[in-house]
Amino acid sequence: MKMELRQLEAFRAIATLGSFSAAATRLHTTQPAISARIRSLEFELGGPLFDRSAKPARLTPLGHKLLDYADRIGSLVTEAQGIGKGAAGTIRSARLGIPSALVSRWAPFLIGEVYRNNPNARVELHIDRSVVLQSMLTNGEIDFALTIGQPNADELVSTPVARYSYCWIQSNTHPATRKIHSISEINKPVATYSKTSAAYIELRDYLRKNKLEHISLSGSNSTDAILKLVSEGLAIGLVMSIALDDDAHPMPVSVMDLPTSMISDVEYFASFRRDGATLLGEYLASAASTFSGPRAADR
């Protein structure tokens, strides 16, 4: 019997995801098919590769030995697949994760990069908070993600691609809007990102320190919702500058001349799994690191 790449592929998927069923889902096959590949591999190597009584499945000593070889073989196969048409020419599907604040600027670019050399590729776009996208990426539910901060996971490869500052905004059409010269003059709720975001926490601490707690904060996971509240004159907004970078759907808001030094710039990372769609991840991460647009990044 001869060892096959698909057996090693199944072995690596189980070792990473912790179960035969999850590996079957990742590889678009059935659990019995995955089990058959592993049984054949175990027969050839002369011993069990997984402790099947454990949840999640644990590698045996023999399994640990094989994993090092399987990882190296997987990397070599990935490199070999990319030497002809290049990494971009091998993409069949792409599951992308992008936070809502970046969708208008980054989604067309990333999807366009996939389709540029792969017009028949199947693309899925997932829009959610960075913490959710990082979890989906770690679990193998998506192939590539843009997220705030570098994910702390050994199975992920990450590279910084953009840094954004914040700006204050107000409605430029609502009749009740008046010019505000300092933060202390704000007389409306301030709409910004969710209560767990760095922007919300740093602004809340600034208001407390400067005895401005009469200014109420409203947190939201939706950038569109923040912009809508501001455009309707219901709130003052504190958003990333890229949130206004939507030429196709401009919002009736204007940037205010108020300080933002109390809010740290936010850095976004492009990340992908080491054992996942590596060619796709490397290609998009490389493309993302060179991408910029009006107001897009402070490099």
Q: Are both 174 and 251 inside the same structural domain? A: yes
pLDDT category at 299 given cuts 50, 70, 90 is very low
pLDDT category at 296 given cuts 50, 70, 90 is very low
Phi, psi at residue 173, to the nearest 5°?
-125, -20
Domain boundary among 42, 67, 82: 82
Residue 298 lies in a domain: no
Q: Are both 69 and 119 inside the same structural domain? A: no
CATH no. for residue 249?
Answer: 3.40.190.10
Q: Are both 248 and 202 inside the same structural domain? A: yes
Helix (H) or strand (E) holding 79, with range, is helix 61-82
Q: Return the structure tokens found at 205.
A: 């601490």
Q: Are both 220 and 283 inside the same structural domain? A: no
- Residue 191 vs residue 281, higher pLDDT: 191
Tens digits of residue pLDDT in 253-271: 889 999 999 999 999 999 9
Q: Which domain holds residue 101?
A: 87-163+266-290
Mean pLDDT of the chain: 84
What is the rounded average pLDDT of the residues 180-196? 92
Domain boundary among 82, 98, 125: 82
Which residue type does 90 have?
Answer: T
State the distance between the two ends of the chain, measured CA to CA, in whole angstroms: 54
Q: Are both 189 and 229 inside the same structural domain? A: yes
Q: Return the structure tokens found at 120.
A: 């028949």
Q: Are both 201 and 225 inside the same structural domain? A: yes
Q: Are both 50 and 93 inside the same structural domain? A: no
pLDDT exceeds 70 at position 93: yes
Domain boundary among 82, 109, 127: 82
Provide the CA 64 distance to its chain's centre, in angstroms.
30
The Cα–Cα gap between 249 and 19 comes to: 45
Tens digits of residue pLDDT in 212-251: 999 999 999 888 899 999 999 999 999 998 888 765 456 7
Residue 295 lies in a domain: no
